[in-house]
């Protein structure tokens, strides 16, 4: 029993010991303060110490000096440094501190209170790295580290169905992102194994910012499928989702009102909505619905031709009603886009308005009538010819057969390709060619 107990105690002791050993390196990592800064904004690197009134603050990035600052009271130390020749008051000290980098500064008032926080103005991708805050006080040396990550968060995600290239594809794109984000695709209902996305990530040479574009081929045999593109920031701090649904074609005759569907997915609450129309290249704005004012604004060109129930939009129904549509003006692709932070949803509907207008109705059938008559005449003529040859052929099959064979023979003799290999003089080649090509044109 006692042996067992001591064994348990030993085990426990080892367990605790090993757990403590495991923890020590982690504890060191935790000493680094982690800071994620937004590109083009100020980056704040915290550092606090016990002030003594005679303090020298130095900041390093990957062991390269960024800034040095001497508090107003530490005049003697300044002389000891040797680097600084001018001897002025506190204001000058701050200036000297900024000498290393115009964008880096510490606040003298804050340093006096033991706050050596470094402010990096308008930070960029180059400011990433491990920083060291080194403060020499009368009491000793304080040192701490700050790990800086730099990020340009996504502001929007664009998704479209592109019909320009040979095959139709769905394009998902984002701009001004840093670092390069991850892109994943899904479909609803699931068929993502059929998607073979091609993703390009291009960095701007000057700013270092990324432009991301991912494409998948449109799945032909999956009508009304929803394509979902997810873009997650490299640090996992945020994720944007865009989805696109291709609606079944809507068609109707000219002059009759039709409804073009547009429904928001369940996970999109109180979105902004816009409708556009494409006929060729440039999309034309139809209307936008503002979720704050709960009102829609319409392009004057469309005022007489579209209607949307603004009360239904918050309920997820942004369907558009086309009034008195015209074949030429209103046949095209209608796109509705719901957008909210981190989420957009697009629906595309091809609309065909057919000609049945009163003026042209008399013209159209007359054309078809002519075509029908021509076709029947052709069919009758063909049938007559067939019966004629059948009758004639049944009587004169032996006489007919040699005729085509002699024709083929004469053709074979005159072809230039067969004569060329036998000829040695190059002059004769164009002669033969000329003869054969000339003869049919003369006949005609
Ligand atoms: C330290 O100083 C910075 C400015 O240099 C300021 O933004 C921050 O709030 C200060 N921190 C404290 C704890 O006072």
Q: What is the mean pLDDT of each run of 10 residues along the chain (444 residues)?
A: 49 43 40 92 96 93 91 53 40 42 89 95 92 94 95 92 79 94 94 89 92 93 91 92 94 94 89 92 90 85 91 90 94 94 94 76 58 82 83 54 42 41 40 38 36
- Ligand 1: distance of its center to the CA of 392 in Å? 109
Predicted local distance difference test score (pLDDT) of residue 45: 97
Protein fold of 249-358 = Immunoglobulin-like (2.60.40)
CA pair distance 289, 340, nearest whole angstrom: 12
Determine whether the shortest distance from the Cβ of 117 to ligand 1 is under 6 A. yes
> Going by DSSP bridges, is the β-strand pair 332-340/320-322 parallel, antiparallel, or unpaired?
unpaired
What separation, in Å, do the N-terminal and C-terminal C-alpha atoms of the chain show?
A: 120
Do the domains at 153-246 and 249-358 have one common CATH topology?
yes
pTM beyond 0.85, yes or no: no
Predicted local distance difference test score (pLDDT) of residue 142: 94
| CATH (one of 2.60.40.10, 3.30.1600.10, 1.10.3720.10, 3.40.50.2300) for 24-151 | 2.60.40.10
Predicted local distance difference test score (pLDDT) of residue 269: 78
Determine whether the shortest distance from the Cβ of 195 to ligand 1 is under 6 A. no
| CATH (one of 1.20.120.790, 3.40.50.300, 1.10.10.10, 2.60.40.10) for 153-246 | 2.60.40.10
Count of other CB atoms within 10 angstroms of residue 22? 9
Pocket test for ligand 1, best of 48, 57, 107 (most atoms within 8 A of CB): 107
3-state secondary structure of 256: coil
Determine whether the shortest distance from the Cβ of 331 to ligand 1 is under 6 A. no
Determine whether the shortest distance from the Cβ of 115 to ligand 1 is under 6 A. yes
Determine whether the shortest distance from the Cβ of 278 to ligand 1 is under 6 A. no
CA distances to 149, 202, 244, 412 from 186, in Å: 30, 23, 11, 62
So where are the chain's domains? 24-151, 153-246, 249-358
Predicted local distance difference test score (pLDDT) of residue 405: 41
């Amino acid at each position: 029993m006692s042996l067992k107990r001591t064994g348990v105690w030993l085990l426990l002791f080892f367990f605790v010991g090993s757990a403590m050993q495991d923890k020590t390196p982690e504890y060191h990592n935790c000493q680094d303060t982690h800071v994620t800064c937004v590109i083009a904004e100020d980056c704040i690197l915290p550092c606090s110490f016990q002030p003594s009134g005679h303090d020298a603050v130095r900041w390093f990035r990957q062991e390269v000096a960024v800034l040095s600052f001497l508090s107003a009271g530490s005049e003697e130390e300044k002389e000891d440094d040797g680097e600084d020749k001018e001897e002025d008051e506190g204001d000058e000290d701050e200036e000297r501190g900024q000498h290393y980098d115009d964008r880096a500064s510490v606040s003298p008032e804050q340093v006096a209170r033991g706050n050596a926080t470094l402010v990096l103005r308008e930070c960029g991708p180059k400011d990433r790295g491990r920083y060291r805050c080194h403060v020499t006080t009368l009491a000793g040396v304080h040192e701490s580290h700050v790990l800086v990550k730099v990020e340009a968060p996504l502001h929007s995600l664009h998704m479209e169905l592109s019909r320009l290239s040979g095959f139709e594809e769905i394009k998902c794109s984002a701009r001004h992102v840093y670092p390069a984000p991850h892109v994943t695709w899904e479909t609803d209902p699931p068929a993502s194994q059929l998607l073979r996305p091609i993703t390009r990530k291009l960095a701007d040479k000057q700013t270092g910012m990324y432009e991301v574009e991912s494409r998948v081929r449109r799945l032909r045999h999956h009508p009304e499928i929803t394509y979902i593109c997810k873009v997650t920031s490299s640090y996992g701090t945020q994720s944007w989702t865009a989805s696109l649904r291709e609606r079944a074609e809507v068609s109707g005759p000219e002059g009759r009102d039709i409804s073009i569907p547009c429904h928001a997915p369940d996970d999109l609450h109180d979105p902004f909505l816009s409708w556009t129309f494409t006929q060729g290249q440039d999309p034309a704005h139809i209307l936008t619905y503002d979720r704050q004012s709960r009102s829609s604004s319409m392009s004057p060109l469309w005022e007489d031709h579209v209607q949307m129930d603004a009360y239904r939009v918050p309920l997820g129904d942004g369907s558009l009603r086309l009034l008195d549509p015209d074949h030429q003006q209103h046949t095209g692709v209608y796109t509705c886009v719901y957008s909210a932070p981190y989420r957009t949803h697009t629906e595309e509907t091809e609309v065909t308005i057919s000609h049945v207008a009163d003026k042209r109705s008399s013209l159209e059938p007359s054309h078809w009538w002519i075509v029908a008559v021509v076709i029947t005449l052709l069919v009758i003529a063909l049938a007559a010819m067939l019966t004629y040859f059948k009758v004639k052929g049944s009587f004169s099959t032996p006489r007919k057969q040699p005729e085509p064979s002699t024709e083929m023979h004469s053709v074979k003799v005159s072809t230039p390709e067969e004569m060329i290999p036998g000829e040695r003089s190059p002059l004769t080649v164009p002669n033969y060619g000329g003869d054969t090509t000339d003869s049919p044109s003369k006949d005609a």
